[in-house]
Amino acid sequence: MATAGSELITDAFDARSTGKRVEYRLLAPSDRRPDERLPLVLHLHGAMSSSKSLEEAKSAYDLAWSRGELPRAAIACASADTLGGFYIDHPGGPSWEKLVAEELPAVVAEKVALDGRRAAIGFSMGGYGALKIAFRNPERYVAVAALCPVIFPGETPSTVPEANRPSILGELHRAMGEDDARYADNSVYGLARRNVDRIRNARLAVFVDCGENDEFKLHDGAVYLHGVLGELGIEYEFHSIPGAGHADAAAVKRQADAIRFLGRALAKAS
């Protein structure tokens, strides 16, 4: 069924997991019927951003719908804190991973009927968050797409080179945990290793890309993940983009490719 147009809703809810009011945006077909059940796409924004990221991406989703590249879906994005957030559940503090993985879907379900299919997509910090929520609970997700995700070329606090954790990336690195066990629990690699059989059995579709000239050296982490997933026998698509930086002229096509990837996986799962 084609999508005639989309409706962007901006709202907020009192989040138990973070102890604060959280703004979110929801994009869905404007001609949806009250009884129409839709898949859910969680759109995770990058650092120093907000749910406005979904408003900025609206044209990309509209184009995918118009071309039949993405099934009719509810797409949701919550404003997550960067410092003190990072899509991490902090001991004794706010739980930002829980917010996007559990509370946000429940809030969306009060506005739109959902059919159980779920996918996640994220850019930069959001790419880290998207991979983390999908690898932690792979049975809940059909697909995950991470564009230049903030992941490091190392699996413990002490093995990540200092050059790969400048500025805000260093803050995320520290927030993941000072001991190896907690760090692994917040590491994409740690979750992949722990849940490798679940990820393979769930047939989770995985898409990762990164520009080879990423200004934050995130290509190093993407290549490291490429190696880990290959070692574990997890099926995935990896796109190393020659000449591309973190967010430049190539970003529009890369986002379209990722949305198309999610669309194929969601259609196959229908």
- The torsion angles phi and psi of 268, rounded to 5 degrees, stand at -65, -30
pTM of the model: 0.98
Question: How many helices and strands (H and E) does the chain possess?
Answer: 10, 8
All residues at 6 or more sequence positions from 42 whose CB lies less than 8 Å from its CB, including other chains:
76, 77, 100, 101, 104, 105, 118, 119, 120, 121, 130, 133
145 backbone φψ class: left, alpha, beta (φ>0; ψ -120 to 50): beta
Residue 1 belongs to some domain of the structure: no
Residue 104 belongs to some domain of the structure: yes
Helix (H) or strand (E) run with residue 24 in it: strand 20-29
Residue 216 belongs to some domain of the structure: yes
Which is more confident, 1 or 83?
83
> Which CATH number do you get for residue 81?
3.40.50.1820
Q: What is the pLDDT of residue 173?
A: 98
Residue 133 belongs to some domain of the structure: yes
CA neighbours closer than 13 Å in the CB half-sphere of residue 120 = 33
Residue 184 belongs to some domain of the structure: yes
- Give tens-digit pLDDT for 96-140: 999 999 999 999 999 999 999 999 999 999 999 999 999 999 999
pLDDT over threshold 70, residue 43: yes
Query: Angle between the 251-268 and 52-66 helix axes, to the nearest 10 degrees?
Result: 60
- Residue 247 CA: distances (Å) to CA of 104, 124, 176, 254, 259: 26, 9, 24, 10, 17
**Structural domain of residue 204, as residue ranges?**
6-268
Domain count, the chain: 1
Residue 248 belongs to some domain of the structure: yes
Residue 142 belongs to some domain of the structure: yes
Helix (H) or strand (E) run with residue 52 in it: helix 52-66
- Give tens-digit pLDDT for 191-245: 999 999 999 999 999 999 999 999 999 999 999 999 999 999 999 999 999 999 9
Residue 139 belongs to some domain of the structure: yes
pLDDT over threshold 60, residue 1: no
How many angstroms separate the CA atoms of 66 and 175, rounded? 41
pLDDT over threshold 60, residue 172: yes
Closest by CA position to 126, among listed 248, 258, 223, 233: 258
